[in-house]
Amino acid sequence: MKYDVTISDFIGLGNASYNYLKWRLSEAKGKEVNINICSLGGYVNCGLRIYELFKEHGNVNVTFTACSASAATLLAMGAKKVTAAKHSLMLIHNASFYIWTSAQMNKEDIDKYIEDLKFSREQLKTLDDVLAAVYADRSGKSIEEVMSAMKKAAWLKPEEALELGIIDAIDDDKAAAEDKKDAINAVAFAGQVTNDMLKELGLPQLPEQQDTVSDEDTKPSLLGRVAAAVKGLAGNKSNSATTNENPKMKTIFKAIGLLLAMTLEMAQDEKHEFTHDELKKIEDDLNAKATEIQNLQNEKKAAEDNVASRDQQIKTLNDEITKLKNDLQAKETQIKNIQEGAAHEEKELEIENETTGLEFANMFK
C-alpha cells in the first residue's frame, strides 16, 4: 500500500497538526485516503479534532506501524478502517497532566496545593470518560472494558488490539512487506523509539521480546540522536526551583526548539522519502547547532566569570579606598589633637610668662 499521508510527529505539530491534515484531506475530498501512523502521541484536544476530521471526510483508512500511543491512537478511531502492521505495537492509557512543583510551603499553601490537585484529578476523570467513550464507540466494547484497558496502560500487540476492537484487521506478511519501506521512513522521520524515550514521556516500557530488524533499519535516527544529545545536556536533575535558575534547562529548550523547527520544515512534503545521506546531513547540521549552543553557553559562562572577577577586583579596591579614608581620618584626628595640645601648651606658657613678669616687677616696688 502506498500511503498518501504519514503521521509521525507529536500530535498537534508538523505532519500531525490539525491544519495540515485538514488541508491534505480537503485536497482529497471524495477520494480514499490511506494514512500511516507512527507517533507516540501528543495533545488530546488535537487528537479529538483530527478524530472528527477523519469522520467528516468519511473515507480515511489508517494503518499503524512501529509504535503508536496515546492521542495517536485516539485520532485513528475516526477512520473508516483501521489496521495494524503485524509487528506493530499500540498503547491506550488514562490521561495525565505534568505537575511541576518545587517550593517552600506553609500549611495554608499545602492545603491550597492539595485542593488544586483534587481539581486536576477531577479534570483527568472527565478526560478519561471522553476518551473511553471514543474507544468504546469504535470497538463496540463497554465503557468499563475500555477503561480497564486504559488503566492497565500496557503495550498491545496487534492481536490484542484486534480483540479489544480498536483495529479492524492485521496486515498479513505480504502487505507488511509492501509497507516496509514506508514504515521504515516513518520511523526514521519520527525517531527510533527507546525505553528511555518512553520513560521521559511517561509511557510504559516496550515488551522485553521484540522482533528483530536489519542493521540498516536500526541505525540511530534523527530524534534518537537528538534525544540522547538533549539528555546529555540535561545531566542530573537540578534542585533549582525555577527554570531561570537552571541554565542547562534553557539549553534543552533551545535544542528542542531547533528540533521542532526542522521537523515542521521537513513535514511540508511528507511524501519525500529521506535517504540515509539526507538524514546524516540533517544530523550533522543539528549537531553543529548543538555545538554552537554549547560554545555560546561556554562564552556566556566565561563572561559571567570575568564579570565576577572584575566585581571582586572592584570590591577589593573599594575596601582599600575605605581603609585609606579611615587611615587619613585617623591621621587628621591625630594632627588636630597635636595642634590643640600645642596651642594649649603655648597658652599656658604665655600665662606663665605673664605671671613671672608681674612677680619680677613687684620686686622693685
Residue type, 308: A
Mean pLDDT computed over every residue of the chain: 78
Reduce the secondary structure of the chain to three states and give it as a string: CCCCEEECCCECCHHHCHHHHHHHHHHCCCCCEEEEECCCCECHHHHHHHHHHHHHHCCEEEEECCEEECHHHHHHCCCCEEEECCCCEEECCCCCCCCCCCCCCCHHHHHHHHHHHHHHHHHHHHHHHHHHHHHHHHHCCCHHHHHHHHHHCCCECHHHHHHHCCCCEECCHHHHHHHHHHHHHHHHHHCCCCHHHHHHCCCCCCCCCCCCCCHHHHCCCHHHHHHHHHHHHHCCCCCCCCHHHCHHHHHHHHHHHHHHHHHHHHHHHCCCCCCHHHHHHHHHHHHHHHHHHHHHHHHHHHHHHHHHHHHHHHHHHHHHHHHHHHHHHHHHHHHHHHHHHHHHHHHHHHHHHHHHHHHHHHCCC
Residue 42's DSSP bridge partners are 11
Query: What torsion, rounded to 10 degrees, do the Cα atoms 52, 53, 54, 57 define?
Result: 120
46 near 18, Cβ under 8 Å?
yes
Question: Which residues of the chain, if any, have pLDDT below 70?
Answer: 173-279, 355-365
Q: What is the CA radius of gyration of the chain?
A: 38
Residues 16-29: b if buried by 16+ CB within 10 A, e if exposed: bbbebbeebbeeee
Query: What torsion, rounded to 10 degrees, do the Cα atoms 145, 147, 152, 158 define?
Result: 60
Q: Is 96 exposed, middle or buried (0-12, 13-18, 19+ CB in 10 A)?
A: middle
C-alpha cell belonging to residue 278: 539526507
pLDDT in tens, 240-260: 333 344 454 545 554 555 455
Query: In Å, what is the CA distance from 203 to each residue of 11, 40, 42, 113, 261?
Result: 15, 9, 12, 25, 24
Q: How far apart are CA 176 and CA 211, in angstroms?
A: 14
Query: In Å, what is the CA distance from 276 to each residue of 168, 225, 306?
Result: 34, 14, 44
52 near 32, Cβ under 8 Å?
no
Q: How many residues are listed for the chain in this entry?
A: 365
Q: How far apart are CA 156 and CA 7, in angstroms?
A: 19
